[in-house]
Structure formats: structure tokens, C-alpha cells
Chain A
Amino acid sequence: MPSPRYWREIPARYRLEASKCTKCGKVSYPARRICPGCRGTEHERTRLSRVGKVVTATTVHVAPDDFVMQAPYAVAIVETPERARLMVQVVDCEPSSVVPGLKVSFEFRRIRKEGHGGILCYGHKAVPA
């Protein structure tokens, strides 16, 4: 992934920045220009709480090349108290224990080493709360 493409995502990936629609209050993660709920275009910046609950999950056994060394690993959709949903890996636990309803918190982690150069890519993963 070329660097600018990575840098552009830093506010969302490093700081969990989201947008809150000033018209309908919907929180979008990552931030959007147009609210998917009401098509409003006025937003304020906000940050997601660092906790949430698993909506659904899987354990990936057959992984893409950059993740082969991590498999098997759990990936989940987590809903935060702001009702934003994001996809994250859930770590520091048995993957089979990651089931709908599990309470988690977010931690800043390395996501992967990319390509042959092994460029480090960061973001958030969830751990059981």
C-alpha cells in the first residue's frame, strides 16, 4: 500500500475518529462527508469509545498472504456505545471464545507486516474486557 494511502486512514485507524451528523446524530466510522442515515452534510468530529460488544464473529483459518502467520485468528464486528460498528480482530483469547455478546475493549496494535518489504501497519484490535 503506498504511503499516502496509509496516511489518509491514520485518523480513523490510530485515533478511532468518526463523524457525528449534526442533523440526525448518527455516528459514522470512519468519518464520512455524507451521512448514510439522512444525507446530511454537516458533521462534528468525534472519537469512538474504546469499548464495545461483539455483534457477529468468525475464526479465519485460511488467511490472505499477509496474515498467514497469524491464522487461526478471530475477526468480529463490534458495536460501540455510539452505535457505530467496526470490523476488528479480537486477540489475547481463544478465538472460539469470541461470540456474539462478548464485551471487548480496543487496543492499539500492529495489524500486519505488508508485502515482501514487511512495512508495519497499525490500527486497533479488540481484547475481551
Chain B
Amino acid sequence: MRDVAIVAAGMTKFGELWGSSLRDLFVEAASGALTMARADHVDAIVVGNMSGGQFVGQEHLGPLLADHLGMAGTPAMRVESACASGGAALRVGFLEVASGACDLVLAAGVEKMNDGGDVTAVLATAADQENEAYHGITFPGLYAMIARAHMTAHGTTAEDLAAVAVKNHRHGALNPKAQFRREVTIEEVMASSMVAEPLRLLHCSPVSDGAAAVLLCPLDQAKRYTDRPVKIRASAAATAPMALADRKDPAFLDAVQLSAQRAYKSAGVGPADLHVVEVHDCFTIAEICCIEALGLVAPGKGRDAARSGLTALGGKVPVNTSGGLKSKGHPVGATGIAQVIEIFEQLRGEAGDRQVKNARIGLAQNMGGSGASSVVHILERV
């Protein structure tokens, strides 16, 4: 396997982008990455997308998006793993380059959620249709059950969860690409409307439109495109039982732990070596469970991390400096790529007001469904 580098990135602002279609979003992000690298071709395009078919009635995204990028003829396909589609697309692109099959790959993610689809019902297709969605459970409802289980087992409170939203909005306020560039208080979170007990509106990531793209090439060719390549030290994935009822402990995300263990082993690093981390905080409880499964804190000890500052900018291991899904926005198929772009910018020293000093190694963790799939990438400045 060859070493693989990320040499360029592009992304749209995240938000309710009524003036942009799915193809517009992709073209903007992809063009940004191509321009940055001064590349006029790619060997392959991989697009992460959860549900173009249900959100906007459009499948077969590979050729559509290659065509609109002016690259009809280029191999292009869509990769799906629910909300982890972006991370999965990056992993496929990584494998194409690492294997020697391709020398320059565009790995992108895109989702157009605000175009009239029944978003709650479409997202619920990432759960078990016959045994979960049939009974009226929603995605916030599944994570609410994870939260209840965590509260029962570890004494976590709704205010502990709110502290995650407060931290991530504080970070997101510094991110020009974020959907919600404003801070919130614990009181505001706790006064927001109830979605699925104990999760309130401000415990949930928003419904977003957006796209993100990166360019991958062999590390030994990276200098053709940039002076500051970022190496992908590890790419790993894992799954867990689809239905929450079938997991051993509903308060622990086994797929996240398994994907992280594989990534740590492959990279030869551990959680203590990470300088900056992006995790999949689709709901506040998810960040708490993810930092536990990644080994940033001990199992059951995630509740204090945001409030104590451990995972805030300036803390020991800043988590979700981009604002996370919570504040930056969560166009599901684009999220995994956008997380990696935040780490890419941090390691290149381009994160502006959000910059973590001397960040050299970072990790991005992207999750599908209620935690049934997880993809982890570890990146390093070279």
C-alpha cells in the first residue's frame, strides 16, 4: 500500500441554501479543491451521499456530478453509509490511491436536505425500518434512548449534554462556514422545545444543505499540488448491530471503539497523541459517547469533558473546533468530508481564530445511523 496525502480541499458554507441545488453544491466544493491544487483532471470521483433519491429524487449521482464538473468520462460513483457516507467515500478514495489504482482522486460528500422531502422520515431510513421505525421511533428518539441509558448508568444530566452544545456553538461562532455562527447558553438549550426526552431542539444538529471535497494523491507526488500536504496515517471502519435493541450496552458505541482501535493500530498512535479531534455530534449525547469510545476519556466519564474545558479550544484535546455537526451544520453525506477538512486546515495552520497551536496529529470520526457504522481517519502534518 502506498502512503496517501490530502493536497487540497473545498467546501460550501453549510446552511439552508435555497439558491443552490445538489449539483450546484457539489460543483462549488469540488471546484474549490481542484483550484487549490491547480488540477485539471482526476482519475476518479467518489461521492458520499446518504439519500439523494429520497431528499431530491435523484440517484445515479456519479455520472451526474462528473458531468457537471465538466469531467464526463471520468469514473465516478456514489458511496452510502447513512450519515457516515462522507467518511466512507474518503475511505474508498484512500484505498483507490493506496492500492495504486489511481494517482489523483476527488473524494467528496454532498447532501441537499432542504428541498421539500420529509426529513424526519428520510433520516429514519438509517434505522431498522421493520423493527424500529415501524413503531414510531425517530432519530432524535434513538439518541434520546442512548442518552437515557447513559444517564441511568453514569449519572449524566441534561445539563451535561447542554454543555456540549454550548462548547460547540462557541467554536462554530468562529467558523465562517458554519450554519449557526452564534453562541448559546445552558439556559437557552434547556429552554428550547422538547424533541425526544431528554433531548431538546438545541441538543440536536440542524437540517442542512452543503458539500465538501478533498483531493487525494500518493504522498510522494503531493509536492506537485501543494507545499503542505497532510498525510492520511490511517483509515478504518467498523459496524455494530443495526437495531439499538440488539446492542449489548445502548450507552456505548461499539462500532466507534472498534473503528478507532483499528485506526490507532494502523497509525501506531493512541488517543493521548492526538492534538485535535472531530467527532460525530449529531446529538449532544453522541459527542459524549464518541469521546468515550475513542478513548479520549474513560468509559462513562464523558459527561464532564465539555464543561471542564478538556475538549474545548485551549483544552487538553480540543474536540469539534469546527463547531461540530451541532453548530457547523449536518448535511449528512457531506459531514465526513467536512470533518476531515477541519483537521486538514488545523494541521496546516489555516484554522484562523479556531487554530489549535502546533497541531500535528488529528482524528476525524464519522458515524452512521444510531452508531451502526463508523469511519475513523487519522491525519498527520508532514
Interface residues of A (CB under 8 A from B): 9, 13, 30, 36, 55-67, 70, 72-73, 75-77, 85-89, 95-96, 99-100, 111-112, 121, 123
Shortest Cβ distance from A124 into B: residue: B135
Contact A70 B130 (CB under 8 A): no
Contact B131 A86 (CB under 8 A): yes
Minimum distance in angstroms from B358 CB to a CB of chain A: 42
Shortest Cβ distance from B142 into A: residue: A58
Contact B137 A60 (CB under 8 A): yes
Minimum distance in angstroms from B102 CB to a CB of chain A: 36
Cα distance A73–B197 when bound, in Å? Answer: 10
Shortest Cβ distance from B146 into A: residue: A56
| Candidates B148, B196, B246; contact of A60 at CB < 8 Å | B196
Which residues of A lie under 8 Å from residue B87 when comparing CB positions? none
Contact A60 B138 (CB under 8 A): yes
Given contacts A64-B120, A87-B131, A87-B132, contact A57 B145 (CB under 8 A): yes
Which residues of B lie under 8 Å from residue A64 when comparing CB positions? 118, 120-121, 124, 133, 136, 138
Shortest Cβ distance from A70 into B: residue: B136
| Candidates B137, B196, B241; contact of A87 at CB < 8 Å | B137
Which residues of A lie under 8 Å from residue B245 when comparing CB positions? 55, 77, 85-87
A-B contact list, 25 entries, CB within 8 Å: A13-B134, A30-B130, A55-B250, A56-B251, A57-B148, A58-B199, A59-B197, A60-B138, A60-B196, A61-B195, A61-B197, A64-B121, A65-B118, A66-B136, A67-B136, A75-B137, A75-B145, A77-B145, A77-B244, A87-B137, A87-B243, A88-B135, A111-B134, A112-B136, A123-B134
Contact A100 B148 (CB under 8 A): yes
Contact B121 A65 (CB under 8 A): yes
Shortest Cβ distance from A86 into B: residue: B245
Cα distance A76–B245 when bound, in Å? Answer: 9
Chain B, range 320-342, C-beta contacts under 8 Å to A: none
Minimum distance in angstroms from B190 CB to a CB of chain A: 15
Cα distance A99–B198 when bound, in Å? Answer: 12
B315 at the interface (CB under 8 A from A): no
Minimum distance in angstroms from A104 CB to a CB of chain B: 14
Which residues of B lie under 8 Å from residue A86 when comparing CB positions? 131, 245
Chain B, range 207-243, C-beta contacts under 8 Å to A: 241, 243
Contact A58 B145 (CB under 8 A): yes
Contact B136 A60 (CB under 8 A): yes
| Candidates B138, B152, B243, B244; contact of A63 at CB < 8 Å | B138
B144 at the interface (CB under 8 A from A): yes
Which residues of A lie under 8 Å from residue B52 when comparing CB positions? none
Cα distance A88–B244 when bound, in Å? Answer: 12
| Candidates A13, A58, A99, A123; contact of B196 at CB < 8 Å | A58
Minimum distance in angstroms from B171 CB to a CB of chain A: 26
Known: A57-B145, A59-B196. 4 other contacts (CB 8 A): A9-B130, A60-B196, A61-B196, A100-B149
Contact A63 B136 (CB under 8 A): yes
Which residues of B lie under 8 Å from residue A67 when comparing CB positions? 136
Cα distance A76–B141 when bound, in Å? Answer: 10
Shortest Cβ distance from B152 into A: residue: A100
Minimum distance in angstroms from A64 CB to a CB of chain B: 5
Which residues of A lie under 8 Å from residue B135 when comparing CB positions? 75, 87-89, 111, 123
Contact B136 A73 (CB under 8 A): yes
Cα distance A60–B133 when bound, in Å? Answer: 12
Which residues of B lie under 8 Å from residue A65 when comparing CB positions? 118, 120-121
Cα distance A77–B131 when bound, in Å? Answer: 11
Cα distance A58–B138 when bound, in Å? Answer: 10
Cα distance A85–B131 when bound, in Å? Answer: 11
